[in-house]
Structure 1
Amino acid sequence: MKKATLITLTAILSLAIAGAAAVGYVAYDFTQVAPSKDNSEVIFEVSPGDSFAVVAKGLEQQGLVRNGYVFSIYARLVNQRSLLKRGEYGLRKDMTPKEVLAVITSGKSIAKPFTVAEGLNIYEIADLYEAQGFGRKKEFLELVRDPAFVKELLGESAPSLEGYLFPETYMITKFENVRDLIASMVRRFLAVYKEIGAESALPSWSRNQVVTLASIIEKETGAGTDRPLISSVFHNRLLKKMKLQTDPTIIYGIADMTGIVPNNIRRDDILKPSRYNTYVINALPPGPISNPGRDAMMAALKPAASKFLYFVSRNDGTTAFSESLDRHNSAVQKFQISPKAREGKSWRDLNKKPVTK
């Protein structure tokens, strides 16, 4: 009897060991063996709200795991199901389920570059944001003009975040919150503003005034080397209480009233009343008209020493400066009105270059 019992127990134990070995082999085979040797990358998307079961099924359908149901069980056993992160991930069919699980729970979503050039305004940045498929223009504009959000980021009230969205290349994931992107742009501005010592360079000027002037300089600049001289013209005119009379403020005034940025201005736009039009107001505009880069802010803070009161584009990207109206009118005739002069390249073309620094 004892011998029979011993034989039975031995048989049961042997079966248990064999079963455990089989389970162990299957588990090893599933978690450590890839479904294919194909090493081409597949972009797999985990959308907001996707359950793990939905994701597992999608992985199976794309040949990234052999069995979605088993993959889901495996994720539960290792306590990883709740760690699923939305995003776009680069996966391969030669990855093991263990490796696939590590990627889709890492949160390291594929990021794409979003380059904001120096001198773009909020309307142009919003257009770019939507055109590149990152989100909706309307939502972007609503946020950069939201009084509470603006105050939260700047620490003070302002009509919008115009001027404070630092021009640079930002890496954006597909489902990144637009609030996070805007906050990153403002944080970068604040860091650069501090780096260049802006708070002490012109102690009698407010931050808004510095950024406003820098935004005008940015829009008026073709060749970067001209920025300090362009700045000197505006500083000189402000000291003499002369109107700045700068065309980009006309354009921005129209955009401020209509939400549409015109490509050019007409003669009857020059004296069209707006709070930004410096042909009408005898002061700096109430706020920035674009988002300036580091060099434009430096130029606003440290203008070149000059007596220039006027400037005009030479249509080759550079600028002609004058101390008197007579000389300025001669320069306008030479570089703007003369048909030959119009064959050159406009500063507006040069001003659209992406930021590379």
Structure 2
Amino acid sequence: MWRHIASNALTFLIVALFLLVGLVSWGSSQYRAEGPLDQAMCLQVPSGSTMRSVSNQLSDKSAITSPVIFRMGADYAEKSSQLKAGSFRVPENASMEEIIDIVTRGGRNTCGTEVIYRVGVNQTVVDVRELDPVSNRFIEVASFNPADGAPPEEYIAVRGSSDTTYRATIAEGVTSWQIVDALGSLDILDADVSETPAEGTLAPDSYDVRPGDKVSAIVARMETAQARILDEAWASRVDGLPLETPEEALILASIIEKETAVADERRQVASVFINRMERGMRLQTDPTVIYGITQGEGVLGRGLRQSELRGATPWNTYVIDGLPPTPIANPGRASIEAALNPDTTDYVFFVADGTGGHAFATNLDDHNRNVARWREIEAQQGNDG
């Protein structure tokens, strides 16, 4: 009898083992299989959430087939404790495994509302946009200049929301004073900077920011980034340049930045100034004259007068020899690299050509003809206006 009982028990254990293996196999396939979500969605994970609350939320939205399998999969992958707060885009038919990866990966929010503070040469613009999870594209909700008065309701409604992310985007060619002034005026930041950072030392780029961040901390990130860019560019510079230090390269790069917004022209413009320096010619560039007038604090907003072109300032390259004593703006990576790796040309002149770019010349006669054409274009544009 005991032998019969033992045989039955063994049979039962074998059957139970097969059932368990089958159940695990089925659960694993369910965990990795395409999910039931028929269109992408935004999943909000508040701070303090648990895998249980997330799995129930996903189940309520018909994004997963089983909250239990979802949680068991997270436990098995040792990711249950790695849940991140934020707003995440869950693609259509995402498997439970893919969703676990999305909510535990970290980094920036991939869904929700984004506020971008665009610091430009002429003004700061605030863009409020919201991600449409289905198309995976941002839709503009509001755009305004904070200097024009009270912000719109669309901005006020999302400011401080848990699924709102913020970025400060700094344009190339903005001065250090403009950057600090713009960041200090933003209502989400702590304006704790009283002195303007050295001109040219802040890297134009896009920076993630959070409400309550100190402007000084953001400036420090910009300074670190610019120092790294300059070090890398200086290490890979071409031989024979008339630039003795990285600081001189930064000064030249800032002039290139202010002279052209056309990416393909930067190295040509750089070659003009390098050729002038090598021949002992003055740089004679208008942006340096403007900087001598404004000191980087705001925009001149008008054309230069002849008296200003002749006026003596440390930055007026119509009067001084060589480079000015400091940069005249914060150049981007491309302009820094152009200053240290210019095109090889014989150009020593350039003037606007009416297309947004410039006409280059190797001699004064050709340059004068290019200038005459530009004057004709200016006159025609004035008549059209």
Structure 2 residue aligned with 1:278: 316
Amino acid at match of 1:56: S
Q: What is the deviation of 1:209?
A: 1.3
1:236 and 1:61 map into 2 onto residues whose CA distance is 72
Q: What is the deviation of 1:196?
A: 3.1
Of 67-76 and 209-218, more deviation after overlay is shown by 67-76
Structure 1 residue aligned with 2:297: 257
Structure 2 residue aligned with 1:231: 273
2:65 and 2:16 map into 1 onto residues whose CA distance is 22
2:79 and 2:226 map into 1 onto residues whose CA distance is 34
CA 21–137 in structure 1, closer or farther in 2 if over 3 Å, else same: same
Secondary structure in 2 matching 1:137: strand
1:194 corresponds to which of 219, 229, 235: 235
Structure 2 residue aligned with 1:84: 83
Amino acid at match of 1:196: R
Secondary structure in 1 matching 2:166: coil
1:56 aligns with 2:55: yes
RMSD of aligned C-alpha atoms? 5.8
1:204 and 1:68 map into 2 onto residues whose CA distance is 65
Work out which structure has the larger RCO, using CA pairs closer than 8 Å and 6 or more positions apart in sequence.
1
CA 50–205 in structure 1, closer or farther in 2 if over 3 Å, else same: farther
Amino acid at match of 1:278: N
Structure 2 residue aligned with 1:208: 247
CA 23–65 in structure 1, closer or farther in 2 if over 3 Å, else same: farther
1:235 and 1:83 map into 2 onto residues whose CA distance is 57
Kindly provide the CA deviation profile for residues 79-106 of structure 1, in whole angstroms up to 9, marking residues without a partner as x: 3212335677664564543454345445
2:295 and 2:69 map into 1 onto residues whose CA distance is 57
Checking the alignment, whether the CA contact within 8 Å between 2:268 and 2:343 is kept in structure 1 is no
1:313 corresponds to which of 343, 349, 352: 352
1:52 and 1:125 map into 2 onto residues whose CA distance is 48
Kindly provide the CA deviation profile for residues 283-340 of structure 1, in whole angstroms up to 9, marking residues without a partner as x: 51512524245576445665867694x643232322255866x997886555236655
Answer 1 or 2: which has greater helix percent: 1
Structure 2 residue aligned with 1:218: 257
Give ranges in structure 2 of 5+ residues lacking alignment.
Answer: 112-117, 131-164, 172-178, 184-195
Kindly provide the CA deviation profile for residues 179-218 of structure 1, in whole angstroms up to 9, marking residues without a partner as x: 7995667645543442334xx5447522121122122123
CA 94–30 in structure 1, closer or farther in 2 if over 3 Å, else same: farther
Q: Percent identity?
A: 14
- How many positions carry a matched residue from both structures? 307
Answer 1 or 2: which has greater strand percent: 2
Structure 1 length as normaliser, TM-score? 0.56
2:203 corresponds to which of 165, 188, 197: 165
CA 89–232 in structure 1, closer or farther in 2 if over 3 Å, else same: same
Checking the alignment, whether the CA contact within 8 Å between 1:231 and 1:304 is kept in structure 2 is no
Structure 1 residue aligned with 2:284: 244
Q: What is the deviation of 1:74?
A: 4.3
Amino acid at match of 1:97: M
Structure 2 length as normaliser, TM-score? 0.53
Secondary structure in 2 matching 1:257: coil
Q: What is the deviation of 1:139?
A: 10
Checking the alignment, whether the CA contact within 8 Å between 1:249 and 1:289 is kept in structure 2 is no
